[in-house]
Chains A and B, each alone.
Chain A
Amino acid sequence: MIWDLYLVMPLALIFIGALFLMLFSLVQKVELANYNLVTVAFLTLSLIIELIIFQNVEHDYLFETIFAKMFIVDKLSTLFNILFLSGAILTLLINNNYFKSRDYYNGEFFALLLFSIFGMMMLAHTNELITAFISIELASITLYVLVGYNHHSLKSSEAMLKYIILGSLAGVFFILGVALVYGVVGSTYLGDIYTYLAHHQNDEMTLLIVGMMFMMVTLLFKIGAAPFHSWVVDVYIGSPFPVTMFMATTLKIAIFSILLRLFLVDFAPIYPIISEIIKAVAILTLLIGSLLAISQTQLKGMLAASSIVHVGYMLIALYAISLGSSFAASAIIFYLISYFLSAVGAFGILSFLASDEEKRHLSFDDFKGFAHERPYMAAAMTIFMLSLAGFPSTIGFLGKFYIFMSAIEAGEILLAGFGIMIAFISIYYYFKLIALMYFYPSANPKKKFPFSISTLLIVAMALMIVWGGIGTGLIPFIAGADGLLTIASEALKTIGK
């Protein structure tokens, strides 16, 4: 029981934090920085507990007597929680300046952010479809509001409008799918579904397969896979920077936590039936994502579109899971980590710049001569771009490497080749930014490196990316490329039945 309380602490802390901030936002005198600090404090506390849990947990049902077997705690969920929490912490810390520079942030922002995180964490823990649905809704609904938080900007409002309508539309498919699954199995516990699948023939569960497909639609929508990608670019561009960063770094990962749980274990027996659809989606996602990315004129749009491409890679691995690839799942987790680091860094620099100089719109042209103005920032940005492009010696390369490895293990050499082709195209749009930074003279004078928590974190991200790409086990306690993979595969080991 004490152990269970311990396990629930991270979630409880987040919820308490959300309530706390919700109430305190009524107090007008509190400075914004303090809200941020409090939020970060709650998140950090939660993160620390999660880290400890990660060391000790194997596979556990929280409060089994009360929650039945709905609340699962294993290394996978803990790992994902660690990612969300760090994503949120990094978002908040890196954007510290940005919050100060914009007058529309207040306490509720942080409360909503915590609610959203709570939803994602719940999603990682859930062992039941309705809980999953409600968690997704919780994470999404709060995120909708966050997207539209900038009430000075029509774009922000437009983004929110689109996100709400399309997100709700997509959400309906999930619950429809759940309903169909329930209709067949008579239960929404993942365990029961698994048992059912193990004892029945395929033709008895047509409805179950249909339900699985509809659930898939929602999940694909939320991660921004083509052809459900249309919202991504608009919403990313429209959102305030911290929210874009938050979305890019957390929500996608959260959805993958449930995707992995569903398709790696519980739906595994019937997953191969729809895997061809996943393959098509993966190909389409890669293609459309790269097409969109090369034609974006805004930097944020490019990053948004390229995030579609990154989803495409993970879908390759997801497809490989259905063909029995044993590396695919850890490849996805590794890729998520690598994308997480790179995206945090890239968006971090954008928002840092946006907070620094109001006049910057952060189009491509604003980066002309950036390297001569801020050499260290440019170096960091270069590292992020290289990592996103999958250039060797960054973590992004290893991420892609594992993905392609899983595809080849699954016997899909052409698919891997296609992925590599897309990676090749992505070189173009990422290097375009590097080119802009280095190839043009700077109009502005050289600036000093501003030592602040934001910049230090950005530099730390860059170092981690490099370390993740080339790091070995030489230095203990700092997980390099090898260590991260170990973590991923350890986490995956615990989700089995």
Chain B
Amino acid sequence: MESIIFFVLAFFLLSGAIMIVFCKESIYSAIGFLMVMVAMAGMFALLHHSFLFLAQILVGVGAVVVLSIMIILSINLKDENQPQQNIMPSKIALTTLMVAPIVGLLLYAVIKADFTFAPIAPNFGTIEAMGKELFTHWVLPFEIVSILLLGAMVGAIVLSHRRLDVKS
């Protein structure tokens, strides 16, 4: 059962990823991204990370994807504003060849490490366990992430507040 769910999710994940990269229209890419995010949430669930599943749906899908789609719609990209680019098979092959060693290395190391799942603790992945872990061990990164978000916010505001007065 889990395997079937996994394969379905993996299918969606991969096809979403491929859509992102290979679709010409930005909106299809965005839909691919949505698929990836949702499927990713499913994966979390499959891994018994219930809180992560929730956070992924809320933040990943609810905020990031929606924001992306909104922006695509708001700037109303027309075809002539899109970069005219033909994705040639030869280029795909070349790039695939380039990433192959990276993938190979990762898989080589992963297979060599030979992981197995540990038995699940009763409250694994729950909000409670997560919260406890977060606030006993991970306070510092948590704080800094908040500062990061603040900084990113300021940066985004600065960028988007710009007037367009490029001097020649």
Contact = CB atoms under 8 A, between A and B. Distances in A.
Direct contact of A and B (CB under 8 A): yes
B166 interface: yes
Nearest to B148: A138
Nearest to A135: B144
A67 interface: yes
A71 B148 contact: no
Contact of B166 (A112, A152, A184): A152
A403 interface: no
B163 A151 contact: yes
Contacts of A22: 150, 154
Interface in B108-132: 108-110, 112-113, 115
A67 B147 contact: no
Contact of A152 (B106, B141, B165): B165
B113 A206 contact: yes
Interface string A167-191: 0000000000000100110000000
A5 to B, nearest CB: 15
Contacts of A152: 165-167
A68 B57 CA distance: 30
Given A66-B139, A206-B109, A145 B147 contact: no
A112 B167 contact: no
A118 B147 contact: yes
B62 interface: no
Interface string A364-376: 0000000000000
Contacts of A334: none
A142 interface: yes
A108 B158 contact: yes
A115 interface: yes
Contact of A115 (B138, B150, B166): B150
Contacts of A144: 155
Residue with the greatest number of chain A CB neighbours at <10 A, chosen from B110, B148, B151: B151
B98 interface: no
A15 B151 CA distance: 10
Contacts of A10: none
Given A131-B140, A135-B144, A153-B167, A207 B113 contact: yes
Looking at chain B, what size class is its interface with the partner chain? Answer: 20 to 34
A122 interface: yes
A111 B166 CA distance: 24
B44 to A, nearest CB: 15
A207 B148 contact: no
Interface in B7-53: none
Contacts of B138: 130
Contacts of B157: 108
Given A151-B165, A206-B113, A210-B105, A112 B140 contact: no
B78 interface: no
A134 B142 CA distance: 9
Given A207-B110, A210-B106, A115 B140 contact: no
A393 to B, nearest CB: 42
B152 A67 contact: no
Contacts of B158: 108, 112, 145, 149
Nearest to B106: A210
B154 A111 contact: yes
B139 to A, nearest CB: 6
A112 B151 contact: yes
B70 to A, nearest CB: 20
Nearest to A137: B148
Contact of B144 (A112, A134, A154, A207): A134
A148 B159 contact: yes
Interface in B62-83: none
B115 A183 contact: yes
A70 interface: yes
Contact of B152 (A71, A141, A153, A180): A141
B113 A142 contact: no
A234 interface: no
B91 interface: no
Interface in A1-46: 15, 18, 22
Contacts of A148: 159
Nearest to B146: A134
B142 to A, nearest CB: 9
Nearest to B163: A151
A50 interface: no
Given A15-B147, A135-B144, A137-B148, A145 B112 contact: no
B163 to A, nearest CB: 7
A206 B112 contact: yes
Contacts of A111: 154
A246 B141 CA distance: 25
Contacts of B163: 151
A18 B152 CA distance: 13
A67 B140 contact: yes
A4 to B, nearest CB: 13
A112 B151 CA distance: 7
A142 B155 contact: yes
B92 interface: no
7 contacts: A22-B150, A22-B154, A142-B155, A184-B113, A203-B112, A206-B109, A207-B110
| Pairs of residues from A and B, 10 with the lowest C-beta to C-beta distance, nearest first | A145-B155, A115-B151, A207-B109, A210-B109, A67-B140, A70-B140, A152-B167, A138-B148, A206-B109, A207-B113
Given A134-B141, A141-B155, A145-B159, 10 more contacts: A66-B139, A112-B155, A134-B145, A138-B151, A141-B152, A145-B155, A148-B159, A149-B158, A207-B110, A207-B112
